[in-house]
Amino acid sequence: MLETSQYAAEEDPELLSTPDETGYYPLQWAALNNRVGIIAYLVDKGVNVNRADGTGQTALHWTAVRGSLLAAEALLGNGADLRLRDGRGYTACHVAAQYGQTAFIYMVALRWRADVDSPDVDGRTPLHWASYKGYANTVRLLIVLEASLTLGDREGCTPLHWSAIRGNSEACTVLLQAGAGSVLNAPDGTGMVPAQLAREKGHRFLAHYLEEYASRHVNKSRNWTQRAAVSWLLNTQLCPLIWALILGLLAVLVYKVVLHPAYGPPSSALLAWTWICVLFASAGLALLYRTTTADPGFLPCRDSGQQSRGRDGKEDENGPQYDKLKALDSPVLRAGNWNQLCVTCKIVRPLRAKHCAVSKRCVAMFDHFCPWVGNCIGAGNRHYFALFLWLEMAAVVVAAALAAARLRWGSQSLGEGGSATTWTAVFLVVDVFLSLSVGALSITQAMQIARNTTTNEMANWTRYKYLHGDDGSFKNPFDKGCWQNCSEAMCGKRASAVRLHPDSIELTSLLRMEEGPRANGLSFRQ
C-alpha cells in the first residue's frame, strides 16, 4: 500500500493534497484505516495535518471514528490540533464518544490533555453523546475525567435525559451512581423529567426504575433531625441484634441451664466448660466489635475540582488536575478494563476491589457487606470476621453440649424441674438453629481463605475476566497454596498492600476496531 502511494505521488505530487470525488483527502483515509506508514509519508511530504474537508472534519476526526490510536498518535505528534471543530462543532472527542471509542478518549485525555467536556453547537458534550448512544464504558471514563453530569444542552437535556430517551438502562445506572440523581426532577425544554421521557418513548421498565430512584432520592433529602434519628440504626444495621442474641443466650445458658436450682449444684467439669463457653463468646464479641469498627480497606476517593490555573489563565501542568490524570494512568485501563473505573469514587479500582453500595466507598479485596456486623468485609477486617465466626461457632457447640448434658443427666423431677427442662430444651433448639447458619458461614469463610477467594468473586466470577481460564472455566490466579493463603489473610493484609500481580493476569487487548458510518449528520431524537 505504501509503495503504491509513493509511486502515485511520484507520478503526480498534487495527488497528496487533492480530495477525491467525495471531497475527502488521502490523509483522512489513511487516518481512518490506521495506516501509520502512509501518514508518516504524507507528513514528510508536507501535507497539512489540520486540513479539513467540506464538512470541517480533519484527519484527527476520522481517527476517532474507528479509534485508530496509532494514527492519532502520529497526527498529534506532528501538530494535529485536538481543539479543531467540524461544521457541527464536534471535536475529535465528540466523534469518539458517538462511536464508543473509549480507548481513544482515554489516550487523548491522558497524553494530550484533550478537553473532554466542551459543548458542540447544540450545547452537547461528549458525555451527552455517549449517554445517548448507550456506550456505558465511555460514560464511565468521561465521568471519571470530570465531565459535567448536570450541564443541559439547548433543549435543556442533561446526559441522563438523553439516556432515558433512548432507553439505555446501563448508561442511566452509571450516571445515577455518579450523582446524576440531582437532575431526576429537572425538566427539559418541554417540561419533562427523565422518567417521563423514558415512558413517552416506550421504555416502561426504565421509567419505573427512574421514578423509584427519584422517590428514594427525594426521601434522602429529609431534614437533618430526621436523618440523625435513624442514622445510628442505619449505620449499625443488625449488629445490635447480634449482640443482644449472644448476650441473651449466654444469660439463659448460665442462669437457666447450668445454675438452675432444679438441677442441683453443677459439677466442677460443668462449670469449667461453662467458663470456656463464656470465654469463647466474649472473645467473639470483642472481635465482632473490631469487625464493626475497623476500616475494611476503604480506598481513598478522588476529590472533584476545577482545573488548576496559572497566572496566565492556562492550566497548570503540575497542578491538581495533572495529578488526577496521572492517577488514571493504569495498566488496567490501558488494557481496556473500563469496569475497573468507579464513577462514584472516581478512581481506578485495583482488581478484587468493589464499590459497596451501602457504605458508598470502594473496598479493597471486597468480600461482602454484612448487615449482622454493620460493616463491609474486606482486606482490613476479614481476619476479625473469620475469627469471630469460628469463636462463636465453638461457643455454640460447647453450649449445645452443655444443654444436652443437662437434659440427659439432670434432674427429672416435676415441679421446678419441669421449668428447667423447658428452658433447656428451648435453649438447645435455638442454639442448634443458630449453629446451622454460623457453621455454614464459618466453613465458607474457611474454604475461601484457604483458596484465597472472596464471597463476591465466587458469586460473580463469570463477570470477572481475571478469574477465567483459557477455556472459560473458573481459574484463580491468586491461589498461592493453602498455608500462604491463610497466613496472608489472617495477618490482616491492608488495602495498600493489595496489588495486581502482573504475571497472574492476562490483560485484554486495548484496541477494538469497529466499523461504522461517519459521525457527521447524526440526529438525536429518533
Closest CA to 67 of 39, 29, 105: 105
- CB 402 within 8 Å of CB 274: yes
* Residues with a known catalytic role: 370
CA separation for the pair 221, 134 (Å, rounded): 29
SS3 370: strand
What structural domains and CATH numbers belong to the chain? Answer: 2-219 (1.25.40.20), 236-298+370-497 (no CATH)
- Per-residue cell: 170: 446501563
Phi-psi region of 349 (alpha: psi -120 to 50; beta: other; left: phi over 0): beta
Q: What is the dihedral of CA 10, 14, 16, 21, to 10 degrees?
A: -120
- Rounded to a whole number of angstroms, the CA Rg of the chain reads 31
Cα–Cα distance list, 387 to 305, 314, 402, 436, 519 (Å) = 42, 55, 22, 17, 58
Q: What is the pLDDT along the chain (526 residues), one digit of tens a residue?
A: 545 554 455 544 555 667 778 888 889 999 999 999 999 989 888 889 999 999 999 999 999 999 999 999 999 999 999 999 999 999 999 999 999 999 999 999 999 999 999 999 999 999 999 999 999 999 999 999 999 999 999 999 999 999 999 999 999 999 999 999 989 999 999 999 999 999 999 999 999 999 999 887 755 544 444 444 445 455 667 788 899 999 999 999 999 888 888 887 888 999 999 999 999 999 999 999 999 999 999 998 876 444 444 434 444 455 556 667 778 888 888 888 898 999 999 999 888 999 998 888 999 999 999 998 989 999 999 999 999 999 999 999 999 999 998 888 765 443 445 678 888 899 999 999 999 999 999 999 999 999 999 999 999 998 888 888 888 899 999 999 999 999 888 875 544 444 433 333 333 332 232 333 333 334 333 3
pLDDT in tens, 65-124: 999 999 999 999 999 999 999 999 999 999 999 999 999 999 999 999 999 999 999 999
Q: Which residue type is seen at 129?
A: W
CA separation for the pair 486, 353 (Å, rounded): 19
